Amino acid sequence: MNAFFASDAPLEAPHNINVILFALASTAYRRALHHYKVLELQVAEITPHVVEPTRRDFLFIATGAAAAVGGSLLVWPFIQSLAPDAATVAAGAPVEIDLEPIAEGQLVKLFWRGQLVFIRHRTAEEIKAAEDVNLSTLRDPQPDSARVKPNRTQWLVVYGNCTHLGCVPLSHQGEYKGWFCPCHGSVFDTSGRVRGGPAPINLPIPPYAFVSDTKVVIGQGETV
């Protein structure tokens, strides 16, 4: 070491520095290249799992989906079991109707137990026309008095669907000014009795009862 420093040979500083810098640069380059290759391998290993699911991933997803569908099939009957049974739904709560706002000649519609009901405030002319019918001419013979409550003949309460196929007939229409069914031409009079067309029977009457002169309860009492 001393001999080296005691040497009279001149130092070529620029040359030596270039060599050292070149060596350092080469080392840094090799290290950078090595890290780049390692990183490239890591990315190559990670990318397939992110971009494109493997067969194992597909089987996992398919199994999960099947489990979800199977679970829904089990849950649906459970939810259905919580709903009220048909008998409870069919029972239906009675509905009270205030008749006072219904003017003479008018008709109101309401639903009871999921079925349409007509309440018609008949005029004196409509009542007379219904009462004067020759019963032998009727397809489904029934006197008007059997279709209304005693002393309440101005009020006609009937189900609101044609007895042919269930269409809703138009009130105050047809030859007898009762109802006319636009679907197949059935005709009913002011008592709701069939007078023409394919309907086989009269408009049925729901159970109802008067609780006062101006109030009626649908779903209470006996049918007329």
**Catalytic site positions:** 184
* Segment holding 209, helix H or strand E: strand 208-210
| CB contact set of 50 (below 8 Å; sequence gap of 6+) | none
Measure Cα distances from 100 to 108, 210, 212, 214, 219 in Å.
Answer: 12, 13, 11, 5, 19
* Helices then strands, each counted (H, E), the chain: 5, 10
β partners of residue 196: 187
Q: What pairing do the DSSP bridges indicate for beta strands 208-210 and 215-218?
A: antiparallel
Q: What pairing do the DSSP bridges indicate for beta strands 194-196 and 179-180?
A: unpaired
Distance between CA 97 and CA 214 in Å, rounded? 8
Distance between CA 36 and CA 45 in Å, rounded? 14
Report DSSP letters for 179-190, one per residue. Answer: EE-TTT--EE-T
